[in-house]
Structures are given as structure tokens and as C-alpha cells.
Amino acid sequence: MKKRSVEQFDPVCGDPVEGDAHTVDHLGVQFLFCSEQCKARFQLHPGLFVGCPGEKAPRQSGQEVIKQRCLRLAFPLMARKAGEIENCLQKLLGVKSVNASDDHIDITYDLLLISAEEIEEEIIECGEYLGHSLRDRLERVFIHVEEQSEISSLEVHYKKKVD
Ligand SMILES: [Zn+2]
């Protein structure tokens, strides 16, 4: 009879995980992930996904931090390219909806799972240029800083017991 291991769940996306292709040791516990993307997200902000005794992490209590943004592009999208970029972004973990048209992309996402900065990187990878007026650039920097501070205020910070 084959020995069955205890079913484990990816703490980031919540999917059951088989095998240990993607693992992280955190506070003496081994966590399994379904993909490199989930693993990387966890390593960046473990306190969003795993709490400590007496304090659940936001993701563990089913919290979502929904953001709606309009990302401006440098040039209007061709119709075919708009569909391509929507497909590209919809595949990302945490992205709820995408609508690309003309020179902007309307996107809704869960900040626990993905940040505006990561979405922008993906847009660039898809071959598009983000708006480069001073206003566009300042707005992006402001959003990155704001999201960073929101994320770190949500993270459960593990306090070492001193005795
Ligand atoms: Zn996952």
C-alpha cells in the first residue's frame, strides 16, 4: 500500500499541492507551493500568508485587499494587442479583471497577491510602454510607495520571544 502524505495546501493561492518541487522553510516549518510565482510571493511577504500563534495572517482569514486602477500606456493599443495583453494579465495570480482599450488598462486585483509594480512589469514584458509623462511616472511611484506601506502594515510580524 502506498503511503499517503497529509494533504498540503499552498498558503498563497490555496490550491492543494502534490510533491515538493517548490518549498520554503519558514520559522522551522516547510511550506509547499504550486509554482515559482506563489513561492516568490510568499518569500517577499510571508506575514501576509502565515501568522503566528494567536494571530492569523490576512490571507488565512480570507481577507482580500481589492484595488482598482487605470494604468496609462504611452501609445494606444491595436485591437489585437489589447486582447493579447488582457490574456497575459488575466493569467496572473490575484488579477480579478482586466479591460484594455485605447491607451489605458483598467485592472482589478488583490493586493495580497500582486502589486501594481508587478503588473506594470508584466505589461512591459508583453511589449507595451507605460505612460511616460511626468504625471504618469509620479503617479506610479506614489502608488508603489503607498502599496508597499499598506502591505507592510498588513503583514503579521513574527516577534521572537525573549526569555
Ligand atoms: Zn499556488
Quote the mean pLDDT of the chain.
92
- Give the total number of structural domains in the chain: 2
Residue 57 lies in a domain: no
Give residue 38 CA to ligand 1 midpoint distance, Å. Answer: 5
Give residue 25 CA to ligand 1 midpoint distance, Å. Answer: 16
Q: In the predicted model, what is the mean pLDDT of residues 5-28?
A: 89
Residue 160 lies in a domain: no
Give residue 22 CA to ligand 1 midpoint distance, Å. Answer: 10
80 with 44, same domain? no
Domain containing residue 39:
8-48
Q: In the predicted model, what is the mean pLDDT of residues 63-86?
A: 95
* Residue 46 identity (one-letter amino acid): P
28 with 104, same domain? no
Give residue 104 CA to ligand 1 midpoint distance, Å. Answer: 29
Q: What share of the chain is helix, strand, coil (3-state, %, to 5)?
A: 35, 25, 45
Could you tell me the three cell numbers for 17?
A: 499541492
Q: What pLDDT score was predicted for residue 52?
A: 86
Residue 38 lies in a domain: yes
Question: What is the C-alpha separation between 97 and 86, in angstroms, rounded?
Answer: 9
Instruction: Provide the strand spans (E) within 50-94.
Output: 66-72
Residue 120 near residue 14 (C-beta atoms within 8 A): no
Give residue 93 CA to ligand 1 midpoint distance, Å. Answer: 8
Residue 3 lies in a domain: no
Residue 85: which residues within 8 A CB-CB, separation 6 or more? 77, 98, 100, 105, 123, 126, 128
Question: What is the C-alpha separation between 156 and 18, in angstroms, rounded?
Answer: 27
Give residue 45 CA to ligand 1 midpoint distance, Å. Answer: 14
Q: What pLDDT score was predicted for residue 6?
A: 63
Residue 137 lies in a domain: yes
β-strands 8-9, 29-32: how paired? unpaired
Q: What pLDDT score was predicted for residue 5?
A: 54
Give residue 35 CA to ligand 1 midpoint distance, Å. Answer: 6
Give residue 37 CA to ligand 1 midpoint distance, Å. Answer: 7
